[in-house]
Amino acid sequence: MIIANNVNKSFGKLQVLKDVSVNCEEGQCIALIGPNGSGKTTFIKCLLGMVVPDNGFITFKGSNIIHDWEYRKHIGYMPQIGRYPDNMTIAQVFEMMKDIRKHKTNIDEELIHAFGLDKLMQKRMRTLSGGTRQKVSAALAFLFNPDVLILDEPTAGLDPVASEILKEKIIAEKQKGKLILITSHILSELDDLITQVMYLQEGQLRFHKSIELLRKDTGEEKLAKAIARVMQS
């Protein structure tokens, strides 16, 4: 569904992605893991067309994304830090997104209700707590029922109840056959979600394998312990 082929990206003298090649298929829930600054967000932004690789290429359902911006409508993106117009209410942000996307049917508002955002619709974005802002970002990512979800640190700042709601939603969408790419530093949260692990280190893809194979290779059941073993080796 998404293929990255020898993707390289530098910012000035700093090479952030080095020959990254991966193949992501529908129905997979992939954890993108790596130390701070290893290039995870940059890679995600390449998939979204927000950062253009210096060389290499990315295809979405067989088409090079360089020639086709339309593909973005199939991806729901939850950024690490969502930025919204400060003076808009939550309701206005959702309306604006629906207007931009001209998407009137097949809207998924489950998270809006599960997070209780429907009761906060008249609040202005600048007055929201960090966690509520995260809930808005999550609800927007799922709103248009996309085939692919890219979630950058989705549970950061969420309280335990909201985290569980989001995890259950991710599991439900995965079961519908969607492709989900998720970064998190809280590895224990990923244990019941993921089918695959991609491990980036200093911009290089150290491995991309199934969670079963990672467990077998490391002899560890828990993702956090398995990754710790990889990092020590």
Ligand X SMILES: Nc1ncnc2c1ncn2[C@@H]1O[C@H](COP(=O)(O)OP(=O)(O)OP(=O)(O)O)[C@@H](O)[C@H]1O
Footprint of ligand X on this chain (CB under 6 A)? Answer: 11, 14, 16, 34, 36-42
Q: At its nearest, how many Å lie between ligand X and the CB of residue 21?
A: 17
Q: How far is CA 17 from the centre of its chain?
A: 18
Using the minimum distance from each CB to ligand X, give the nearer residue, 33 or 90.
33
110/118 Cα distance (integer angstroms): 10
Q: Please, which residue, 11 or 207, has the CB nearer to ligand X?
A: 11
Minimum Å gap between C-beta 178 and ligand X is 22
CB of 225 to ligand X, least distance (A): 20
Q: Which is nearer to ligand X, 161 or 231 (CB)?
A: 231
Query: Residue 83's beta-bridge partner residues?
Result: none
Task: Report, in Å, the least distance between residue 14 CB and ligand X.
Answer: 6
Cα(233)–Cα(102) distance, rounded to whole angstroms?
A: 50
Q: How far is the CB of 75 from ligand X (least distance, A)?
A: 18
User: Distance between alpha carbon 82 and the CA centroid of its chain, in Å?
Assistant: 13
- CB closer to ligand X out of 12 and 62: 12
Q: Tell me whether residue 2 or residue 46 sits nearer to ligand X (CB atom).
A: 46
Strands, DSSP E only, in the chain? 2-11, 14-24, 29-33, 55-60, 63-64, 75-78, 148-152, 179-183, 196-201, 204-210
Transcribe 84-133 into DSSP letters.
--TTSBHHHHHHHHHHHHT--SS---HHHHHTTGGGSTTSBGGG--HHHH
Question: What is residue 2's three-state secondary structure?
Answer: strand
